[in-house]
Amino acid sequence: MKNVLVTLPVKETHQSRICEAAQGCNVLFVPGREVTEEQVSEANVIIGNVPAKMIRGSEHLELLQLESAGADAYLAPGLLSESTVLCNATGAYNRTVSEHAVALTLMLMKKLHLYRDVQKKSLWKDCGTVSSPVGSVVLVVGLGEIGLQYARIMKAMGAYIIGVKRRPGSCPDGIDELVQTDEVDSVLPRADVVFSILPSTKGTVHFYTSERFCLMKKSALFINCGRGNAVESDVLLKALQDGEISGAAVDVTEPEPLPADHPLWLQENIVITPHVAGGYHLPHTFECIVDIACENLAHWLKGEEYRNVVDFETGYKR
Protein backbone atom coordinates (compact mmCIF):
# COMPACT_ATOMS: atom_id res chain seq x y z
CA MET A 1 0.00 0.00 0.00
CA LYS A 2 1.24 3.45 -0.92
CA ASN A 3 1.83 6.02 1.83
CA VAL A 4 0.65 9.64 1.70
CA LEU A 5 2.00 12.02 4.35
CA VAL A 6 0.07 15.26 4.92
CA THR A 7 1.57 18.00 7.10
CA LEU A 8 -0.97 20.72 6.29
CA PRO A 9 -3.04 22.08 9.22
CA VAL A 10 -6.17 20.36 7.92
CA LYS A 11 -9.61 20.16 9.48
CA GLU A 12 -11.86 17.09 9.32
CA THR A 13 -13.54 18.27 6.12
CA HIS A 14 -10.15 18.63 4.43
CA GLN A 15 -9.04 15.22 5.72
CA SER A 16 -12.11 13.62 4.16
CA ARG A 17 -11.42 15.25 0.81
CA ILE A 18 -7.77 14.18 0.80
CA CYS A 19 -8.59 10.61 1.83
CA GLU A 20 -11.19 10.42 -0.93
CA ALA A 21 -8.65 11.64 -3.50
CA ALA A 22 -6.03 9.17 -2.20
CA GLN A 23 -8.39 6.19 -2.20
CA GLY A 24 -6.64 2.91 -1.51
CA CYS A 25 -3.62 4.61 0.10
CA ASN A 26 -2.51 4.85 3.69
CA VAL A 27 -2.91 8.54 4.58
CA LEU A 28 -1.09 9.93 7.60
CA PHE A 29 -1.89 13.41 8.94
CA VAL A 30 0.93 14.86 11.05
CA PRO A 31 1.43 18.53 12.02
CA GLY A 32 4.53 19.90 10.29
CA ARG A 33 6.34 20.63 13.55
CA GLU A 34 5.87 17.00 14.68
CA VAL A 35 6.83 15.13 11.51
CA THR A 36 9.70 12.63 11.81
CA GLU A 37 12.41 11.52 9.41
CA GLU A 38 11.00 8.00 9.46
CA GLN A 39 7.57 9.23 8.35
CA VAL A 40 9.18 11.24 5.56
CA SER A 41 11.36 8.34 4.41
CA GLU A 42 8.35 6.00 4.15
CA ALA A 43 6.15 8.41 2.19
CA ASN A 44 5.39 8.00 -1.50
CA VAL A 45 3.61 11.34 -1.53
CA ILE A 46 4.18 14.30 0.77
CA ILE A 47 1.72 17.17 0.90
CA GLY A 48 3.25 20.13 2.74
CA ASN A 49 6.59 21.84 3.22
CA VAL A 50 8.50 19.36 5.35
CA PRO A 51 12.06 20.38 6.32
CA ALA A 52 14.20 19.93 3.22
CA LYS A 53 16.98 18.19 5.15
CA MET A 54 14.57 15.34 5.99
CA ILE A 55 13.92 14.57 2.35
CA ARG A 56 17.42 14.21 0.95
CA GLY A 57 17.62 11.24 -1.38
CA SER A 58 14.32 9.72 -0.28
CA GLU A 59 14.00 6.63 -2.47
CA HIS A 60 10.25 6.15 -2.08
CA LEU A 61 9.10 9.72 -2.69
CA GLU A 62 7.25 10.06 -5.98
CA LEU A 63 5.46 13.37 -5.47
CA LEU A 64 6.24 16.34 -3.24
CA GLN A 65 3.31 18.75 -3.26
CA LEU A 66 4.30 22.01 -1.61
CA GLU A 67 1.91 24.33 0.19
CA SER A 68 3.96 27.33 -1.02
CA ALA A 69 4.42 28.93 -4.42
CA GLY A 70 8.16 29.30 -3.75
CA ALA A 71 10.17 26.10 -4.15
CA ASP A 72 13.74 27.33 -3.72
CA ALA A 73 14.39 25.33 -0.53
CA TYR A 74 13.88 22.09 -2.45
CA LEU A 75 15.93 22.77 -5.57
CA ALA A 76 19.41 21.90 -4.24
CA PRO A 77 21.15 19.25 -6.38
CA GLY A 78 20.70 15.77 -4.93
CA LEU A 79 18.00 16.77 -2.45
CA LEU A 80 15.21 15.08 -4.40
CA SER A 81 15.76 11.85 -6.31
CA GLU A 82 15.32 11.88 -10.09
CA SER A 83 12.06 9.96 -9.72
CA THR A 84 10.45 12.65 -7.50
CA VAL A 85 8.13 15.20 -9.08
CA LEU A 86 8.03 18.58 -7.32
CA CYS A 87 4.82 20.62 -7.53
CA ASN A 88 4.06 23.98 -5.93
CA ALA A 89 0.92 25.84 -4.95
CA THR A 90 0.92 28.41 -7.73
CA GLY A 91 -2.55 29.88 -8.05
CA ALA A 92 -3.50 29.54 -4.40
CA TYR A 93 -2.06 32.91 -3.35
CA ASN A 94 -3.31 35.09 -6.22
CA ARG A 95 -6.12 36.77 -4.32
CA THR A 96 -4.48 37.28 -0.94
CA VAL A 97 -1.10 38.58 -2.14
CA SER A 98 -2.46 40.76 -4.94
CA GLU A 99 -5.01 42.38 -2.63
CA HIS A 100 -2.35 42.97 0.03
CA ALA A 101 -0.12 44.59 -2.60
CA VAL A 102 -2.95 46.81 -3.86
CA ALA A 103 -3.68 47.86 -0.28
CA LEU A 104 -0.03 48.80 0.24
CA THR A 105 0.00 50.71 -3.04
CA LEU A 106 -3.07 52.77 -2.13
CA MET A 107 -1.76 53.31 1.40
CA LEU A 108 1.37 54.95 -0.01
CA MET A 109 -0.48 56.86 -2.73
CA LYS A 110 -2.89 58.37 -0.21
CA LYS A 111 -0.24 58.74 2.54
CA LEU A 112 -2.34 56.75 4.98
CA HIS A 113 0.84 55.55 6.70
CA LEU A 114 1.70 59.16 7.51
CA TYR A 115 -1.76 59.85 8.86
CA ARG A 116 -1.47 56.77 11.06
CA ASP A 117 1.81 58.16 12.42
CA VAL A 118 0.35 61.57 13.25
CA GLN A 119 -2.75 59.94 14.74
CA LYS A 120 -0.51 58.24 17.29
CA LYS A 121 0.71 61.72 18.26
CA SER A 122 -2.87 63.06 18.52
CA LEU A 123 -2.10 65.59 15.78
CA TRP A 124 -4.67 67.05 13.38
CA LYS A 125 -2.20 67.50 10.54
CA ASP A 126 -2.42 67.75 6.75
CA CYS A 127 0.26 65.54 5.17
CA GLY A 128 0.11 67.15 1.73
CA THR A 129 -0.62 66.11 -1.84
CA VAL A 130 -1.42 62.54 -2.81
CA SER A 131 -1.39 60.51 -6.03
CA SER A 132 -3.91 58.32 -7.80
CA PRO A 133 -3.98 55.02 -9.72
CA VAL A 134 -5.85 56.85 -12.49
CA GLY A 135 -3.35 57.74 -15.20
CA SER A 136 -0.40 56.23 -13.35
CA VAL A 137 2.12 53.89 -14.96
CA VAL A 138 2.47 50.66 -13.00
CA LEU A 139 5.38 48.35 -13.70
CA VAL A 140 4.74 44.75 -12.65
CA VAL A 141 8.01 42.82 -12.41
CA GLY A 142 7.13 39.13 -12.42
CA LEU A 143 4.09 38.24 -14.50
CA GLY A 144 3.07 35.07 -12.77
CA GLU A 145 -0.50 34.64 -11.61
CA ILE A 146 -0.11 37.00 -8.63
CA GLY A 147 1.45 39.68 -10.81
CA LEU A 148 -1.32 39.37 -13.35
CA GLN A 149 -4.01 39.59 -10.67
CA TYR A 150 -2.43 42.74 -9.21
CA ALA A 151 -2.07 44.22 -12.71
CA ARG A 152 -5.72 43.66 -13.54
CA ILE A 153 -6.92 45.26 -10.30
CA MET A 154 -4.73 48.31 -10.86
CA LYS A 155 -5.79 48.55 -14.50
CA ALA A 156 -9.44 48.47 -13.41
CA MET A 157 -8.66 51.54 -11.30
CA GLY A 158 -7.28 53.40 -14.29
CA ALA A 159 -3.56 52.58 -14.39
CA TYR A 160 -1.46 51.86 -17.48
CA ILE A 161 0.27 48.51 -16.95
CA ILE A 162 3.73 47.48 -18.15
CA GLY A 163 4.51 43.83 -17.50
CA VAL A 164 7.97 42.32 -17.17
CA LYS A 165 8.51 38.61 -17.78
CA ARG A 166 11.43 36.29 -18.54
CA ARG A 167 10.31 34.95 -21.88
CA PRO A 168 8.87 36.63 -24.97
CA GLY A 169 5.23 36.03 -25.73
CA SER A 170 1.91 37.63 -26.47
CA CYS A 171 0.68 40.38 -24.17
CA PRO A 172 -1.65 38.87 -21.54
CA ASP A 173 -5.12 40.23 -20.91
CA GLY A 174 -4.88 43.20 -18.54
CA ILE A 175 -1.36 44.21 -19.63
CA ASP A 176 -0.92 47.25 -21.86
CA GLU A 177 2.73 46.72 -22.69
CA LEU A 178 5.10 43.79 -22.30
CA VAL A 179 8.90 43.70 -22.01
CA GLN A 180 11.42 41.02 -21.12
CA THR A 181 13.44 41.03 -17.92
CA ASP A 182 16.64 42.15 -19.66
CA GLU A 183 14.77 45.25 -20.88
CA VAL A 184 13.60 46.38 -17.44
CA ASP A 185 16.07 49.29 -17.27
CA SER A 186 14.40 50.88 -20.29
CA VAL A 187 11.00 51.08 -18.57
CA LEU A 188 11.95 51.80 -14.94
CA PRO A 189 12.16 55.58 -15.61
CA ARG A 190 8.52 55.60 -16.77
CA ALA A 191 7.00 53.90 -13.74
CA ASP A 192 5.04 55.65 -11.00
CA VAL A 193 4.75 52.32 -9.18
CA VAL A 194 7.15 49.38 -9.35
CA PHE A 195 5.56 46.20 -8.03
CA SER A 196 7.99 43.31 -7.54
CA ILE A 197 6.67 39.78 -7.24
CA LEU A 198 9.87 37.97 -8.20
CA PRO A 199 10.60 34.51 -6.78
CA SER A 200 14.02 33.66 -5.37
CA THR A 201 16.23 32.35 -8.18
CA LYS A 202 19.84 32.85 -9.28
CA GLY A 203 18.73 35.62 -11.60
CA THR A 204 16.61 37.56 -9.11
CA VAL A 205 18.85 37.86 -6.04
CA HIS A 206 19.64 41.58 -5.49
CA PHE A 207 17.81 42.40 -8.73
CA TYR A 208 17.10 45.94 -7.51
CA THR A 209 20.50 47.59 -7.29
CA SER A 210 21.36 51.16 -6.37
CA GLU A 211 21.72 51.85 -10.08
CA ARG A 212 18.19 50.65 -10.76
CA PHE A 213 16.72 52.80 -8.00
CA CYS A 214 18.51 55.75 -9.56
CA LEU A 215 16.71 55.00 -12.83
CA MET A 216 13.31 55.34 -11.16
CA LYS A 217 11.36 58.56 -10.83
CA LYS A 218 12.00 60.41 -7.58
CA SER A 219 8.23 60.28 -7.10
CA ALA A 220 8.08 56.51 -7.69
CA LEU A 221 6.73 53.98 -5.21
CA PHE A 222 8.38 50.56 -4.77
CA ILE A 223 6.29 47.59 -3.57
CA ASN A 224 7.83 44.18 -2.87
CA CYS A 225 5.67 41.14 -2.08
CA GLY A 226 7.88 38.57 -3.80
CA ARG A 227 11.10 37.61 -2.08
CA GLY A 228 13.13 39.77 0.27
CA ASN A 229 16.45 38.94 -1.38
CA ALA A 230 15.40 40.78 -4.52
CA VAL A 231 16.78 43.88 -2.81
CA GLU A 232 19.31 44.40 -0.04
CA SER A 233 17.73 46.24 2.87
CA ASP A 234 20.62 48.71 3.05
CA VAL A 235 20.25 49.49 -0.67
CA LEU A 236 16.53 50.17 -0.24
CA LEU A 237 17.24 52.29 2.85
CA LYS A 238 19.72 54.43 0.94
CA ALA A 239 17.30 54.89 -1.97
CA LEU A 240 14.67 56.16 0.46
CA GLN A 241 17.05 58.36 2.43
CA ASP A 242 18.59 59.88 -0.71
CA GLY A 243 15.21 60.56 -2.29
CA GLU A 244 15.80 58.30 -5.27
CA ILE A 245 12.20 57.10 -4.73
CA SER A 246 9.47 58.69 -2.65
CA GLY A 247 8.24 55.65 -0.78
CA ALA A 248 8.25 51.89 -0.42
CA ALA A 249 6.14 49.10 1.03
CA VAL A 250 7.60 45.65 1.64
CA ASP A 251 6.09 42.43 2.92
CA VAL A 252 9.46 40.70 2.61
CA THR A 253 12.97 41.71 3.63
CA GLU A 254 16.55 40.53 3.62
CA PRO A 255 17.10 39.16 6.22
CA GLU A 256 13.82 37.94 7.70
CA PRO A 257 12.80 38.85 10.30
CA LEU A 258 14.24 42.31 9.80
CA PRO A 259 16.43 42.97 12.88
CA ALA A 260 14.76 45.25 15.42
CA ASP A 261 17.68 47.68 15.29
CA HIS A 262 17.71 48.04 11.51
CA PRO A 263 17.21 51.73 10.54
CA LEU A 264 14.69 50.74 7.86
CA TRP A 265 12.09 50.43 10.64
CA LEU A 266 12.47 54.12 11.44
CA GLN A 267 12.05 55.42 7.89
CA GLU A 268 8.94 57.55 7.65
CA ASN A 269 8.40 56.75 3.96
CA ILE A 270 8.19 52.96 4.18
CA VAL A 271 5.49 50.50 5.24
CA ILE A 272 6.72 47.11 6.47
CA THR A 273 4.50 44.08 6.98
CA PRO A 274 6.04 40.85 8.37
CA HIS A 275 5.61 38.46 5.41
CA VAL A 276 1.87 38.14 5.93
CA ALA A 277 0.53 38.79 2.41
CA GLY A 278 0.43 35.03 1.81
CA GLY A 279 0.16 32.31 4.39
CA TYR A 280 -3.30 31.30 5.55
CA HIS A 281 -4.47 34.72 6.70
CA LEU A 282 -7.19 34.56 4.04
CA PRO A 283 -9.08 31.26 4.49
CA HIS A 284 -9.71 31.09 0.73
CA THR A 285 -5.99 30.44 0.24
CA PHE A 286 -5.97 27.22 2.23
CA GLU A 287 -9.01 25.92 0.37
CA CYS A 288 -7.16 26.47 -2.91
CA ILE A 289 -4.12 24.58 -1.61
CA VAL A 290 -6.25 21.61 -0.64
CA ASP A 291 -7.88 21.74 -4.09
CA ILE A 292 -4.45 21.56 -5.77
CA ALA A 293 -3.30 18.74 -3.48
CA CYS A 294 -6.40 16.65 -4.15
CA GLU A 295 -6.14 17.24 -7.89
CA ASN A 296 -2.51 16.12 -7.98
CA LEU A 297 -3.22 13.11 -5.78
CA ALA A 298 -5.78 12.00 -8.34
CA HIS A 299 -3.32 12.59 -11.18
CA TRP A 300 -0.64 10.61 -9.29
CA LEU A 301 -2.92 7.59 -8.87
CA LYS A 302 -3.95 7.66 -12.53
CA GLY A 303 -0.47 8.38 -13.90
CA GLU A 304 -1.68 11.64 -15.41
CA GLU A 305 0.13 14.94 -15.89
CA TYR A 306 0.44 17.02 -12.72
CA ARG A 307 -0.60 20.60 -12.09
CA ASN A 308 2.13 23.11 -11.12
CA VAL A 309 5.22 21.02 -11.83
CA VAL A 310 8.33 23.01 -10.87
CA ASP A 311 11.21 23.43 -13.33
CA PHE A 312 14.43 22.73 -11.40
CA GLU A 313 16.46 25.01 -13.68
CA THR A 314 14.38 28.12 -13.17
CA GLY A 315 12.53 27.46 -9.91
CA TYR A 316 9.28 28.46 -11.62
CA LYS A 317 6.24 26.44 -12.51
CA ARG A 318 6.78 25.00 -15.99
Predicted pLDDT of residue 39: 97
Percent of the chain predicted with pLDDT > 70: 100
Q: How far apart are the first and last CA of the chain?
A: 30
What are the boundaries of each domain within the chain?
Answer: 3-90+282-302, 94-272
Residue 46 has pLDDT above 90, yes or no: yes
Cα radius of gyration (the chain) = 21
Look at the alpha carbons of 240, 236, 165, 197 in this order and tell me if their dihedral is positive or negative.
Answer: negative
Predicted pLDDT of residue 219: 98
Predicted pLDDT of residue 201: 85
Residue 313 has pLDDT above 90, yes or no: no
Residue 21 has pLDDT above 90, yes or no: yes
Residue 293 has pLDDT above 90, yes or no: yes
Q: What is the mean pLDDT of the chain?
A: 96
Predicted pLDDT of residue 53: 93
* Homologous superfamily of the 94-272 domain (CATH): NAD(P)-binding Rossmann-like Domain (3.40.50.720)
Residue 122 has pLDDT above 90, yes or no: yes
Predicted pLDDT of residue 278: 95
Look at the alpha carbons of 259, 262, 266, 267 in this order and tell me if their dihedral is positive or negative.
Answer: negative
Confidence class of residue 318 from pLDDT cuts 50, 70 and 90? confident
Fold identical between 3-90+282-302 and 94-272? yes
> Domain 3-90+282-302 maps to which CATH number in 3.40.190.10, 3.40.190.80, 3.40.50.720, 3.10.510.20?
3.40.50.720
pTM given for the model? 0.94
Mind listing the pLDDT tens digit for each residue in 166-220? 888 899 999 999 999 999 999 999 999 999 999 888 899 999 999 999 999 999 9
Going through 183-253 in order, the beta strands assigned E by DSSP cover 193-196, 221-224, 247-250
Mind listing the pLDDT tens digit for each residue in 217-274? 999 999 999 999 999 999 999 999 999 999 999 999 999 999 999 999 999 999 999 9
Amino acid at 287: E
Confidence class of residue 97 from pLDDT cuts 50, 70 and 90? very high
Show the DSSP H helices in the chain as ranges.
12-21, 37-42, 52-55, 94-109, 112-120, 145-156, 184-187, 210-215, 233-241, 283-302
Residue 62 has pLDDT above 90, yes or no: yes
